[in-house]
Chain A
Amino acid sequence: MDGAVKKYFKLIVDNEGMESGSHADKEGVKDELQRWPLFGLSVGSFLQVINMEQQTCLLEVYRSADQQGHFSIVEGVLCKAICGDREGEDAAMEMISWENVRLNIKQILNTSGIERNIEKNLMLLLMESSRRRDEAEENNQIQESKVETEDTEEEELLVRDVERAQLDACLKILTKDMGDSLISGSIICIQSAKVLASYNIKPEAAALFNSITDYFRNAFAGGALGGGLGDHYVLDLKEKQTLVVLILGEYQWAIVFNNAKCSLGLFRNIIMPKVVKTFNEMNL
């Protein structure tokens, strides 16, 4: 780039005695920070001010010891950017995206040696940088959301494990009370049809009882059969077996027993209240 400097640097900066680049390295970090005395404004804002004032200057940007670079601006036009190994628009975008930077402004006395490596105007670069920042934030939010979801799933699994242990304990009480009259027992989550605890029953059979409950619920929901399915139903089965299904909130207990060894009366008046009480005490 050729042509003499038409306008000189007018911004108020305290950069006296900071012309020597090697001085800061020798004096350590404190001195380095003194070398870039401007802070509090973003790189983009500074570039816009320089652009509006049509200044010719070198804007040095410092983020950390290994993250620094500079912009060359001639009469307000951003001509060149260098940031580490990066050059041109890539370097400019990188530095514009930095936050909490320190800046320094130096005069450019002769612009003829500046090789332009940025063609886009400043506004386009700022807009592109803004778009990239939004994208990055969005991605971060998605990542955070994923992490939160995973945490929630883990917590839910833990709660389910505790519930299953409690439900297993409930079935053990039932087994103990009913002895050999108990043929099978299962506890199912009605909505998901998942078998949460079982005794001597295949999952398919437990799912079968759940499908019967679903059928009754739908049939009674129509209103023709009264005010909806109540809290239990009883199926008399062949081979002296009885199936009692208890509906306790979102759970279903399906208990099959030998009615020659345990009468339905005994089950409904002694066993069933105990099952309901134990279940309610679990506070699931």
Chain B
Amino acid sequence: MNIQKLNLCMDILRKDLGDGFVASCIITTEDGQVLISTDQANIASATILNDATTFISNAMKTYPTELGQYYYIDVAGNMAVLVIPFGNYQWTITINKKLVKLGLLLNVVLPAIINAFEDAAVS
């Protein structure tokens, strides 16, 4: 894992989301340890969502199709959370849904950060 490139991933995210960016965290799925986080308060939610991903993955084993690239959760109030599982890692992004268009997040930002993360992971 290239730490510099990992930090670059966060920079891309901040830049693309602008004022709609709230917090982000990348953790290892096996032990829930934080690789990088923009906000200490966001670590707890990232850990909980790591467990949520495990739950969903296990639950979907009885369904014909598995979980794909991401899941998006609408939160009461102004926030929403995008969770991107990458096998051994998981990226959690909290946004202000009033300021970020979901189309931009899923069609522009998501492919860009996935590429950036995969680049960081293989380096």
Determine the interface band of chain A, counting residues with CB < 8 A from chain B: 20 to 34
A229 CA to B70 CA, complexed, in Å: 17
> A212-228 interface mask toward B, CB cutoff 8 Å, 1 = contact, 0 = none?
10011001101011111
A228 CA to B79 CA, complexed, in Å: 10
B123 on the A face (CB < 8 A) = no
B122 on the A face (CB < 8 A) = no
Q: Given the interface contacts A208-B59, A215-B55, A222-B48, does A236 sit within 8 Å of B77 by beta carbon? A: no
Q: Out of A204, A205, A226, A234, which one reaches B72, CB within 8 Å?
A: A234
A235 CA to B52 CA, complexed, in Å: 12
Chain B interfacial residues counted at CB < 8 A: 32
A235 CA to B59 CA, complexed, in Å: 13
A232 CA to B44 CA, complexed, in Å: 22
Q: Given the interface contacts A235-B56, A265-B103, does A225 sit within 8 Å of B71 by beta carbon? A: no
- The binding surface of chain A is classed by DSSP as mixed
Decide if A229 touches B75 in the complex (CB within 8 Å). yes
A238 CA to B61 CA, complexed, in Å: 12
Decide if B106 touches A226 in the complex (CB within 8 Å). no
Q: Out of B59, B69, B71, B75, which one reaches A226, CB within 8 Å?
A: B75
Q: Given the interface contacts A236-B69, A237-B65, A237-B66, does A216 sit within 8 Å of B76 by beta carbon? A: no
Decide if B76 touches A230 in the complex (CB within 8 Å). yes
Most chain A beta carbons < 10 A, residue from B51, B59, B68, B81: B68
A226 CA to B48 CA, complexed, in Å: 12
A204 CA to B63 CA, complexed, in Å: 9
Question: Which chain B residues (64-123) contact chain A, with CB distance < 8 Å?
Answer: 65-77, 79-81, 94, 102-103, 106
Which residues of chain B are near A229, meaning CB under 8 Å?
73-76
Which residues of chain A are near B69, meaning CB under 8 Å?
236
Q: Out of A205, A225, A265, which one reaches B49, CB within 8 Å?
A: A225
Decide if A233 touches B68 in the complex (CB within 8 Å). no
Residues on B facing A (Cβ under 8 Å):
44-45, 48-49, 51-52, 55-56, 59-60, 62-63, 65-77, 79-81, 94, 102-103, 106
